[in-house]
Amino acid sequence: MRPEEAVASLVGAALRVLGVRLSLQTPMGRSLKIEARRLLILAASAVSMWATSCRHMDGATEAGGAAPTFVWRSPEGHSHPLLGRIWDTSAQTFVTEAQLIDRLAGTPNVLLGEIHDNEDHHRLQARVIRRRAQQTPGGSRRLVVEMLTLDQQPIIDTVLQADPNDANALGRAVAWDQSGWPSWSMYRPVFQAALRSRFEIKAANLSRSDAMKISSHALDIDQDLAHRHGLNEPLPGPLEASLVRELIEGHCNMLPQFMIPPMVQIQRLRDAIMADAILGDAEEKAAVSGPSTSVLIAGLGHVRTDRGVPYYLRKANASSMSIGFIEVEEGRTEPDHYAVSAPPIPSTASNDEDETTTRDAQGVNDVGTKQRAPFDFLWFTARRQDRDHCAELRERFKKPGLPPPPLEPPTP
């Protein structure tokens, strides 16, 4: 039964009850009966519209979008034409969720880029994890997580050895709610899906204290890691420049100049560590138990195909596919409006020159540009409550005694 039909049935039953209970032969009784019927009809209409909206929010699978059981929880953008749709940046076409999952079957490594405090991103990540498990029966699986630090790996191993299915026990063991990441309730679906699908959980980030020590030269970078991933050399010019720009804009242009080089170093180091965690001993496990798969959960900046984790995987001759979960924005109604600065697509401007672009906190271009987003797929989602993060940051640093912005690259 469709939602509208179920609602109509319930309302009809309610009206029949009211017909019995409010059929008083007095003017007041008749008035109450009429008013109750009117309110119920309005409620039925509202619920019917909501049900139809849910189907629209889920994204029509024929046009490329989420499956029809998904209901958005983020409050903004529910009427946006891109909501729920999935864009293949290489083929320049929309695909369905089923087509996306089929495409993922051809690669061992799937990278899921999120906005950390968007609940819908984590719920969609959980869906991908479950479908990924179905593609690798009998193989080894690992969930690589930016939000867990390398020094927590022994804790993770111990708690999951005691109970490999208890996601909440894992959250408590790593003191998630004191970590500074969004609440455990947002991330729990990701871990629950992974544990139920028999994924290993692998930490893939520096601790804050190690990042600070490396930035201040109090701790050396592992030179074997640095050599394998080329961390002692700068990124190719345009990629280095785009990373610097992302860090500056991510801190609302309030970042002191002296902090930029160490932040670039830490961002690259984190990407390389995530790549190592993805690779692990995959070849050894594949020889024993069949094909392996790794799924990375990280901020959007880390899964960029041009200079994020995929850049370091390519250095190791490892393939990957990157999905960027992107919040829809008012006025940006075409996938090209969500491109960032590399790699460029030739401009359609009459003078054949690249158009000048500006970027917002999500890392997208202003309407009118013709550049390709550095992800293999864009999955458009509802948007969190609109907030001016830069205004909040400016207000924070007006207060006396507060430190400058943290010496840590943002992971959008």
Whole-number Å distance between alpha carbons of 86 and 277: 27
pLDDT at 8: 47
One domain for residues 75 and 211: yes
pLDDT at residue number 340: 64
The band of 372, judged by pLDDT with boundaries at 50, 70 and 90, is confident
On whether residue 187 sits in a domain, the answer given is: yes
Range in 150-159, 234-243, 279-288, 305-314 the model is least confident about: 279-288
- Structurally, how many domains does the chain consist of? 2
Same structural domain, 41 and 70: no
Do 243 and 149 share a structural domain?
A: yes
Euclidean distance between CA atoms 198 and 143, whole angstroms: 10
Nearest to 362 by CA among 78, 93, 114: 114
C-alpha dihedral sign at 36, 37, 40, 46: negative
Higher pLDDT, 323 or 13: 323
What's the rounded mean pLDDT across residues 226-252?
A: 90
Q: Is the pLDDT of residue 407 over 90?
A: no
Over residues 156-166, mean pLDDT: 96
Instruction: Flag whether 410 is in a domain.
Output: no
- Locate 191 and state its tokens: 């871990």
Tokens of residue 118, six digits: 């968007």
Are 136 and 170 members of one domain?
A: yes
Q: Of 37, 56, 75, which closes a domain? A: 56
Mean pLDDT of 250-267: 88
Pick 31 or 248 by higher pLDDT.
Answer: 248
User: What CATH number did the domain enclosing 206 receive?
Assistant: 3.40.50.11550
Q: Mean pLDDT across the stretch 56-64?
A: 43
Residues 37 and 72 both lie in one domain: no
C-beta separation of 184 from 126 below 8 A: no
- pLDDT(52) > 50: no
Integer angstrom CA distances of residue 130 from 123, 135, 300, 369 = 11, 9, 21, 36
Residues 98 and 223 in one domain: yes
Give the structural domain span for 356: 62-396
Q: Are residues 240 and 131 in the same domain?
A: yes
| Residues 39 and 72 both lie in one domain | no
Q: Work out the percent of the chain whose per-residue pLDDT is above 90.
A: 53
Look at residue 322 and tell me if it is in a domain.
Answer: yes
267 and 335 fall within a common domain: yes
Estimate to the nearest angstrom the gap between the alpha carbon of 259 and the chain centroid.
27
**Same structural domain for residues 68 and 93?**
yes
228: how many CB neighbours lie within 10 A of its CB? 15
| pLDDT classification of 54: cutoffs 50, 70, 90 | very low
pTM: 0.76
Same domain, 48 and 81: no
Structural domain contains residue 405: no
Per-chain mean pLDDT for the chain: 79
Asked, for residue 201, whether it belongs to a domain, the answer is yes
Is 34 in the same domain as 145? no
pLDDT for 254: 84
Domain boundary among 56, 71, 90: 56
Write out the E strands in 212-342.
293-299, 321-327
CA atoms of 330 and 95, how far apart (whole Å): 22
Distance, CA of 64 to CA of 95 (rounded, Å): 4
